[in-house]
Amino acid sequence: MKLEQIYTGCIAQAAYYLESNGEAAIFDPLREVQPYIDRAAKDNAKIKYIFETHFHADFVSGHLDLAKKSGGQIVYGPTANPNFEAIIAEDGQEFKVGAYTIKAIHTPGHTMESTCYLLTDESGKQHGIITGDTLFIGDVGRPDLAQKMSSDLTQEKLASHLYDSLRNKIMVLADELIVYPSHGAGSACGKNMSKETTDTLGNQKKTNYALRADMTREEFTAELLDGLGLPPAYFPQNVMMNIQGYESLDNILEKSFKPLTPREFEAIANQSEALILDVRHEDDFVKSHIPGSIFIGIQGGFAPWVGALIRDVKQPLLLITPEGREEETITRLSRVGFDNSLGYLKGGIAAWKEAGFETDSIESISPEQFESEANENSIIVDARKPGEFNAEHVENALNIPLDFVNEQLSEVPKEENFYLHCAGGYRSVIMASILKSRGYHNMINVEKGMAGIRKTSAKLTAFVCPSTNK
């Protein structure tokens, strides 16, 4: 059985390719679909089915573009009601791909249409199961996303559905089955995902907290909801794009891949409500950037931070990218539904300076300089997540997670200088750029974050294992 799993980005959406005797099936494809078409052509296979496990929230799936280009039929599980042609499978319905069989198993809970796909090889042996967001490695899907789509659904009701789905549909399957989830570590669709991308179902039964054999429905619901943060604001918008349809990525690239001179760039920025998004490395942004621009570096957790902090997928964007990564930036933005890029600055910051336009910078110091300067009266802002902060932090530091900087803006000191750091230097620069765009210019960024601070003699709290901290 040919089965290939592809993970990409911090929101580690997985795509799968299965080919047998001249026919192919794709599961939860990425929005850029040409690699699947090329792969099928290489294998002399025709794409027969495009299986979707559910209406995804954290990315825009490539199902529509792939169906149009390949002729494959889109398949959803029971209760799905998309605004485009698709096969709505019945629970237990089987699909043939060459000599292989793919069985739809309806597993509501993460969403009501959530469906897993059981893969059986040519000899009749059950090989693996595509679990979407129902079962991850080390975790299960969060049950609070579908409630946005219906007032009748609550996270408690969805958790109860998920409890039944896992125990009555998944855990009864053979231990040797390989589990292929749709996400890995870094996705906001769960809270405790492993960095591993596959595992046997038997090992997950032993190690996954949510699959404990003696777990009651009440215990499952309590553990699943404990520590579950708010989902990113852009999630419902992506769900609607996946249900209602979206513009072709080819069209997005054609209209967005537009080089702009500094004067054209400035004119559009002044005449529109475009946000200037700088995706270069944080070190480059710190040294020199366009005043008012927001930094979210493409080399970090780019897509989820764009979605979490910019929020509105229709927000017009003007881009500053590393040379040669313009198309990549537009494509990665489109994966999470941000399709309204108006162009990019040709020649980058160097061209901006040569044209005589103003630049800004962020005061930034080394961890060693932070150690020598900071004292018990210093204001220190830690931009990490609460779990990271509670595990260990600089004594007397204030925790304002980057995720909630917009909500907690009033807690940021505005009159006094303060030190700002995160875990490694990426998130603190994002926060600094947001604060500067809102009129805060009194922060001092600490390079390398806690990774660098730990190597100094700065006073830290006693370390608490994250697994024991809520």
Q: What is the pLDDT of residues 299-324, one digit of tens each?
A: 988 988 999 999 899 999 999 999 99
Q: How confident is the model at residue 227 (pLDDT cuts 50, 70, 90)?
A: confident
Q: Is the pLDDT of residue 467 over 60?
A: no
Q: Is the pLDDT of residue 95 over 60?
A: yes
Q: How confident is the model at residue 153 (pLDDT cuts 50, 70, 90)?
A: confident
Helix/strand/coil (H/E/C) assignment for every residue in 410-466? HHCCCCCCEEEECCCCHHHHHHHHHHHHCCCCCEEEECCHHHHHCCCCCCECCCCCH
Q: Which domains does the chain have, with CATH numbers?
A: 2-237 (3.60.15.10), 247-355 (3.40.250.10), 364-454 (3.40.250.10)
Neighbours of 20 (CB within 10 A): 20
**Tokens found for residue 401:** 């997670």
Q: What is the pLDDT of residue 150?
A: 67
Q: How confident is the model at residue 185 (pLDDT cuts 50, 70, 90)?
A: confident
Q: What is the pLDDT of residues 330-377, one digit of tens each?
A: 999 999 999 999 999 999 999 999 999 999 999 999 999 999 999 989
Q: What is the pLDDT of residue 51?
A: 98
* Cα 337-341-346 angle, rounded to 5 deg: 145
pTM summary value: 0.91
Across the range 91-116, mean pLDDT stands at 97
Q: Is the pLDDT of residue 194 over 70?
A: yes
Q: How confident is the model at residue 151 (pLDDT cuts 50, 70, 90)?
A: low
Across the range 390-405, mean pLDDT stands at 95
Return the DSSP state at 89.
P
Tell me what percent of the residues of the chain surpass a pLDDT of 90: 85
